[in-house]
Structure 1
Amino acid sequence: MLIYFVGFIFMYIAGLFSFCLKRKHLLLMLLSLEFVVVSIYFGLFFFLGLFNLEFYFIMVFLTMSVCEGALGLSILVFLMRTYGNNYIQSFNLLW
């Protein structure tokens, strides 16, 4: 059981590290953010299964993560149509 916990922590840290390193491209940031979401899903599944709890919260979590992914992709499409690339620095509405 400890190997699952270590795997979850390693996946989460690797996703955050990748998110911090790839901060210039929106697509790479979205991919690493989805990797963090998958690692949190893995951790939730492990902990809820460990304590024999119901998996209803996992379905709510997956619904929210799909909504987050759809919003990220819509921002990516807007950025590509407006500026022609996916660099965060060219998206000057935030700066």
Structure 2
Amino acid sequence: MMMNMWLTIFIMYFVGNMIFVSKHKHLLIVLLSLEFIVLSIFFFMMIYLMMIMYNMYMLMVFLVFSVCEGALGLSILVSMIRTHGNDYFQSFNLI
């Protein structure tokens, strides 16, 4: 039972990383893959802290930082859509 949970979390983390490193055209997909990676790390930390009988205060700190990361990503997405009209990476030049 415990091995299935570890394997599920590892697969979640691996799939999130594979989506992140593969080439996508939209910023929203990249942000969703980052949130999926954060969710898998949260599950890993929760199971690990329960296993060693530690308090869950560290999970609250992790959730605060992950929410800040999500809000920053959404604000970048909104500003990019307002300035360029879409979230395609190929639609603007970095030079």
- Say what the alpha-carbon RMSD is for the aligned residues: 1.3
Inter-partner Cα distance in structure 2 for 1:71 and 1:22: 22
User: Residues 91, 65 of structure 1: CA spacing in aligned structure 2 closer, same or farther, 3 A cutoff?
Assistant: farther
Deviations 1:43-80 (A, max 9, x none): 00010001101110000000000000000000000000
Q: Secondary structure at the match of 1:90?
A: coil
Q: Which residue in 1 is equivalent to 2:66?
A: 65
Identity rate, percent: 52
Contact 1:12 1:39 survives alignment (8 Å): yes
Contact 1:11 1:39 survives alignment (8 Å): yes
Q: Which residue in 1 is equivalent to 2:3?
A: 2
- Give the TM-score normalised by the residue count of structure 2: 0.91
Inter-partner Cα distance in structure 2 for 1:81 and 1:20: 26
- Give the TM-score normalised by the residue count of structure 1: 0.91
Q: Which residue in 1 is equivalent to 2:48?
A: 47
Q: Which residue in 2 is equivalent to 1:83?
A: 84
* Amino acid in the other structure paired with 1:90: S
Aligned length: 94
Structure 1: segments with no counterpart, 5+ residues: none
Q: Secondary structure at the match of 2:6?
A: helix
The structural deviation recorded for 1:22 is 4.7
Deviations 1:20-49 (A, max 9, x none): 225321000000110000000000001000
Structure 2: segments with no counterpart, 5+ residues: none
Q: Secondary structure at the match of 1:88?
A: coil
Q: Secondary structure at the match of 1:87?
A: coil
